[in-house]
């Protein structure tokens, strides 16, 4: 009976790890699609002087976005179901006395699921915002071209429109670079967080055995929180300065 329960648990863990690896690859491709979307639209606008040319590549990217979003949502649903099954297993009667170890493993899988879900929704929101902005800028450009080609065009006003449009594009590029830097920083911090959790778990084990080490860990944690606050403040100030530079 115990062997059968152990095999069931290991089978659930194997399926969860497989889904997590597949989700990780999907999310990397999804993030690349979001990052490349705006730059490809800029390239097409520079290549063609009129918006009447069909944006086939843009439509293809939109379809790819919808397809990948559905696939990732399905994988997240499957992983959620596996986590629920593992939770039911740990709460069921007859589970071995290793319940604490099983709960620790289950919590780790739940943290991974939460991180993937948050990353997916954030990337999806960024993509939709970029697409909406691109559609708006395309509409503005079309209005400007229509105004230029009309009779009695005021060249001065057209020039101002074009300069304002160019300024918006430059601001968009700066914001996109800031978002890319922030996403890269987030990925690095996520990786570092996993390493720190592992180190902290080992340090807590040592602290329970040696009280003197516990005092040292408390001081290290205080310093880590202080460094986090300083880093957060620096990132916030830099972001504000970049936005002020972009819109002035």
Per residue in 65-110, pLDDT (tens digit) is 888 999 999 999 999 999 999 888 887 755 555 577 788 888 899 9
Output the pTM of the full model. 0.49
More confident: 35 or 157: 35
Q: What is the pLDDT confidence band of residue 177, given thresholds at 50, 70 and 90? A: confident
Long-range contacts at 127-135 (CB < 8 A, ≥ 24 apart): 127/33, 127/34, 127/37, 127/65, 130/34, 130/37, 130/38, 130/176, 131/37, 131/62, 133/172, 134/37, 134/38, 134/41, 134/58
Write down the pLDDT at residue 207. 57
Q: Report the C-alpha gap between 110 and 195 in whole angstroms.
A: 17
Neighbours of 142 (CB within 10 A): 13
Q: What is the pLDDT of residue 49?
A: 43
Please give the CATH number for the structural domain made up of 1-37+58-151.
Answer: 1.20.58
Q: Which two tokens stand for residue 92?
A: 């069921």
Q: Could you tell me the sign of the dihedral formed by the alpha carbons of 199, 205, 208, 213, in that order?
A: negative
CB 75 within 8 A of CB 22: yes
Percent of the chain at pLDDT exceeding 70: 73
Place of tokens 């099954």: 85
pLDDT per residue over 186-229, tens digit each?
Answer: 777 777 777 777 777 776 666 566 666 667 777 888 888 888 88
Distance, CA of 25 to CA of 23 (rounded, Å)? 5
Q: Hunting for tokens 């944006």 — which residue is that?
A: 55
Q: How far apart are CA 176 and CA 126, in angstroms?
A: 10
DSSP secondary structure letter of residue 159: H
Give Cα 179 distance to the centre of its chain.
10
pLDDT of residue 198: 75
Q: What is the mean pLDDT of the chain?
A: 77
């Amino acid at each position: 009976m115990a062997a059968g329960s152990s095999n069931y648990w290991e089978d659930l863990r194997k399926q969860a790890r497989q889904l997590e690896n597949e989700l990780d690859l999907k999310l990397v491709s999804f993030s690349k699609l979001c990052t490349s979307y705006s730059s490809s639209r800029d390239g097409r606008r520079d290549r063609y002087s009129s918006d009447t040319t069909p944006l086939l590549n843009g439509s293809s990217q939109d379809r790819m976005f919808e397809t990948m979003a559905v696939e990732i949502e399905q994988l997240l649903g499957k992983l959620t179901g596996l986590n629920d099954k593992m939770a039911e297993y740990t709460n069921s009667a007859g589970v071995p006395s290793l319940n604490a170890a099983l709960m620790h493993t289950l919590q780790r899988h739940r943290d991974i699921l939460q991180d993937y879900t948050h990353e997916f929704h954030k990337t999806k929101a960024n993509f939709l915002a970029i697409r909406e902005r691109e559609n708006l800028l395309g509409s503005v450009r079309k209005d400007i071209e229509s105004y230029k080609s009309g009779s009695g065009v005021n060249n001065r006003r057209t020039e101002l429109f074009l300069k304002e449009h160019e300024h918006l594009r430059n601001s968009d590029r700066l914001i996109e670079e800031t978002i890319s830097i922030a996403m890269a920083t987030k990925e690095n911090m996520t990786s570092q967080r996993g390493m720190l959790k592992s180190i902290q778990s080992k340090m807590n084990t040592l602290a329970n055995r040696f009280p003197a080490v516990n005092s040292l860990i408390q001081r290290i944690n205080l310093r880590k929180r202080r460094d986090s606050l300083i880093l957060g403040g620096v990132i916030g100030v830099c972001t504000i300065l970049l936005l002020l530079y972009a819109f002035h």
